[in-house]
Structure 1
Amino acid sequence: MSALLALALVSTYLSYVLFAIVLAYVLTPVQRRLEEHVRSMTAAILLIVASILVVFIPLAYVLAIAIQQGVTLLTPLQEGEISPDGIQGRLESIGYVVDFELLYETYQEPITDGVQSLALGTLSAVSGLPDVLIGFTVTAFVLFALLRDGDRLLAWLRSVVPIRDGVQRDLLEQLDNLMWASVVGNVAVAAIQAGLIGIGLVVAGIPGVVFLIVATFVLALLPLVGAFGVWVPVSTYLFVIGRPVAGGAFLVYGSVVSASDMYLRPALIGRSGTINVAIIVVGIFGGVVLFGAIGLFIGPVVLGGAKIVLDLSARERGQSTTG
C-alpha cells in the first residue's frame, strides 16, 4: 500500500523527476571529478548553481529573444505585407504553380486543430506558471539527491531488485547506451545542425536568426522532420522576395546539413549500436504526449528499456530451459 502511495506522489511531478534524472545522467561525470577536490554535498551544490548560471539563465535569455523575434516575424503577415496571393504570384513567375487555396481546403482541419492546440498550450503554460516553478524546485532537489547519493541509490536498487548480478550489469550497460544515444547524442546532433543552419541564415541576411536557430534545434530532435522544416521555408522565402541565387544556394546548403545527419549520428552515438527507428519515432512522440518536452529524451529510453528487459528475460528463460 505504501509503495502505491509513493508512486502516486511521484507521478504528480513525474516529468520534473524524469528531467532531474536526465540532468543527473549528464552531470554525474563532472560530479565525480569535483568530488576529488571537495565533499560530495559541496560538489552537488556547486554543480547545480553553475548549471543554472552558465546554462539555464542564458538559455532562458535566448528563448526570450527567440519568442520576441518569432512575434516580429508574424508582423508582416498581420499587416498583409506577405499574403498567400503574393507568394503564389511570385512562385508562378519563376515557374512554380502552387494552389494555396486548395492546400488550405485540404489541410484546413489539421491546421485549425494545430492553431487551437498551440493557443491552449500557451494559455495553459501562462496560467500554470506557479506549478512550473514548484516543478523546477522539485527538479533541483531531486537532482541534488541524485548527484550526492546516486551511487548509494544505485547500489540499493541493485540489492532489492531480484535479478542476477550478471543480468543487472547487462541491463545497466544497455540502458546507459540508450541514454547516451537519446540524450547526449541526439542533442549534440541537433545543436550542430542548428549552428550550421544559423551560419547560413546570417550569411543570407535572414531576419529572426535566433528564432530560426531555436526552431531548427527543436525540429532536428524530431525524426522524419529535422532541419528540413526550416531550410525549405527559408529557401522558398528567398525565391519569393526575388533572390533566386541566394535561395538556390541555401537550398543546397540546407540539403548538405540535413545529409550530415547520416554521418554525425554514427560518429556521436557509435557506442550505442543500432537503435530501432520505430522505437525512436514512437518513443519521442509518445514521450512528448506523456511527459511533455522531456519526453523527447525519456520516451525512447523508456520504450527501448522495455525492449531490453524483454530481451534479457527471454535470454534468461532460454538459458534456464537449456540448463
Structure 2
Amino acid sequence: MADGSYLSDWDLEQRGLIAITLLSGVLALLVLVPYLQYVLFGLVLAYVLYPLQGRLENYLRPTIAAFVMVVATLLVVLIPLVYVVTIAVRQALGVVPAIREGQFDVGTVQEVLGTEDLPVDPVSLYESNQDRIATALQQVATGALDFVGSLPGLFIGLTVTLFVLFGLLRDGERVVAWTKWVVPVDDRILDELCAGLDDLMWASVVGNAAVAAVQAVLLGVGLLVAGVPAVIFLTVATFVLTLLPLVGAFGVWIPAAGYLVAVGRPTAGAAVAVYGLLITFSDTYLRPALIGHTDAFDSTIVVVGIFGGLIAFGAVGLFVGPVVLGGAKLTFDCFARAHSGEPAADGHLEGTVGAESEKRAVADANDGGSDE
C-alpha cells in the first residue's frame, strides 16, 4: 500500500511539473514571438562570429571579447547595412516623383528604340496601363512609409539582436551544453542532430550569403562603371535576388543592359550583358568553393524554406527557413532510426563532444563558473 501510494504521489508530482514546464514554455514563446526574427538574426550572427570569438578569447576575457565583437558588428555590419538599405529605398522611390514630374519621357524612349513602325505603340501602351502603374508605385511608396514608421520598433529589435549576440558569444558553449542536458534525447542522437544542423547552417547562412554578397558587389561595380543610375538599389536587389532560387543576378543585369540600349548606349549594354553572364555563371564555381560538395540541401527544401521563411520570419527567413525545414527532416530521420533500432549515422558523429565533456560543461554552467 505504501509503495502504491508513493508511486501515485510521484506520478502526481510529475504531472504537475510537466504542466508547469509547458506553461513556462508557452509564456516564454509569447515573450519571444514579437521579436522572434531579431532573436534569430542574433543567433545567425553568433553562429558566423563564434570562431572569431574563440580566437579573440586567446587574448581577452570572454566577456570583454564578446563586447568587442558586438561593437565591431554594430560598426562594421549593422550601421552600414541600415545606411545602405536607406539609400536603396530612397533611390527606388526616386522613380515615383520622376514619373509624376514628367521626367520619364516615353516619347524619347520610343525615338531611341525606333519603334515608330512597330505594331505596339509604347505611348499608348503606357497610357492604357497608367492606372496599374500608378497603383504599383503607390504600393511601393506605402511600403517605404511603413518602413519609416517602423523605425522605432526596428531600433528596439536591433537592440534585442545585439544582446542575444553578446549572450551567445560569451556563453555559447554553456547554452549548447544546457540545451543538450534538458532535452530528453539520447546523446548520440543529439550529436547527430547538432552536426547536421551545423552543416545546414553553414550551407544556408555562410555559403548562400557569401555567394550573394560577392555577386552583388561585382555586379554593382560593373553597373557603376557602365553609368547605370541607382547603383546601390540595384546592388541590394542583386543580393536579394541571388538568395532567391530560380532568379539570380540576371534579374538585375538584363533590365540594366536593356536600359543602356534604350538610352543609346548599345556598346555599354552589350558589355553589361556579357559581364552579367559571367557573374551568373560564377555561381557554379563560387557555391561549391564556399559551401563544399554537400547533399545537405534538397532543392525542394531550399525553395520552400526560403519563401516560407520570408513569410514566417521576415528577412532573416532567407537563411533560417531552409535550416528549419532541413532540421525537421533530420529530426524525423533520427526518430525513424531510433524507432526501428538502427544506429545513428556515423558521418554525423565525427568530431562531436563526448557525453562526459558535455556533463562537465553543464556542471560548470550550473556552478555559475566565472568567465575570467
Question: Aligned partners of 1:96, 1:166: CA distance in 2, in Å?
Answer: 69
What is the one-letter code of the residue matched to 1:126? Answer: V
Shift of 1:241: 0.9
CA spacing shift, 1:181–1:94, aligned 2, 3 Å: farther
CA spacing shift, 1:18–1:95, aligned 2, 3 Å: farther
State the Cα deviation string for residues 103-123 of structure 1 (Å, max 9, x = none).
9989x87x7876565444333
Question: Which residue does the alignment assign to 1:316?
Answer: 338
Match status 1:259 vs 2:281 = yes
State the Cα deviation string for residues 187-209 of structure 1 (Å, max 9, x = none).
11011111221232122122222
How many residue pairs match? The answer is: 320
**Aligned-residue CA RMSD (Å):** 2.8
Q: Secondary structure at the residue paired with 1:260? A: helix
Match status 1:192 vs 2:214 = yes
Question: Aligned partners of 2:187, 2:116: CA distance in 1, in Å?
Answer: 67
8 Å Cα contact 1:41/1:148 also seen in 2: yes
State the Cα deviation string for residues 133-182 of structure 1 (Å, max 9, x = none).
22122112111111111111110111111222111111111111111111
CA spacing shift, 1:223–1:131, aligned 2, 3 Å: same
Shift of 1:86: 4.5
8 Å Cα contact 2:203/2:291 also seen in 1: yes
Pick from 243, 268, 283: which aligns with 2:305?
283
Shift of 1:65: 3.2
Question: Which residue does the alignment assign to 2:63?
Answer: 41
Question: Aligned partners of 1:98, 1:166: CA distance in 2, in Å?
Answer: 67
Question: Aligned partners of 2:43, 2:151: CA distance in 1, in Å?
Answer: 22
Pick from 153, 167, 170: which aligns with 1:148?
170
Counting aligned pairs with the same residue, the percent is 52
Question: Which residue does the alignment assign to 1:293?
Answer: 315
TM-score with structure 2 length normalisation? 0.77
Question: Which residue does the alignment assign to 1:238?
Answer: 260
CA spacing shift, 1:144–1:294, aligned 2, 3 Å: same
What is the one-letter code of the residue matched to 2:146? Answer: S
CA spacing shift, 1:19–1:53, aligned 2, 3 Å: same
Q: Secondary structure at the residue paired with 1:169? A: helix
Superposed, 1:1-323 pairs within 5 Å as 1-72=23-94, 76-84=98-106, 86-87=108-109, 90-91=112-113, 93=115, 115=137, 117-270=139-292, 272-319=294-341
Shift of 1:99: 6.7
CA spacing shift, 1:84–1:278, aligned 2, 3 Å: farther
8 Å Cα contact 2:110/2:116 also seen in 1: no
CA spacing shift, 1:239–1:72, aligned 2, 3 Å: same
Question: Aligned partners of 1:62, 1:302: CA distance in 2, in Å?
Answer: 29
State the Cα deviation string for residues 11-30 of structure 1 (Å, max 9, x = none).
12111111111111011111
TM-score with structure 1 length normalisation? 0.88
CA spacing shift, 1:114–1:160, aligned 2, 3 Å: farther
Question: Aligned partners of 2:117, 2:50: CA distance in 1, in Å?
Answer: 56
Structure 1 stretch displaced more, 119-128 or 281-290: 119-128
What is the one-letter code of the residue matched to 2:189? Answer: V
CA spacing shift, 1:74–1:128, aligned 2, 3 Å: closer
Could you tell me which runs of 5 or more consecutive residues in structure 1 were left unpaired when the two chains were aligned: none
Question: Aligned partners of 1:193, 1:266: CA distance in 2, in Å?
Answer: 14
Could you tell me which runs of 5 or more consecutive residues in structure 2 were left unpaired when the two chains were aligned: 1-22, 344-372
CA spacing shift, 1:89–1:166, aligned 2, 3 Å: farther
Structure 1 stretch displaced more, 73-82 or 285-294: 73-82
Question: Aligned partners of 1:162, 1:140: CA distance in 2, in Å?
Answer: 30
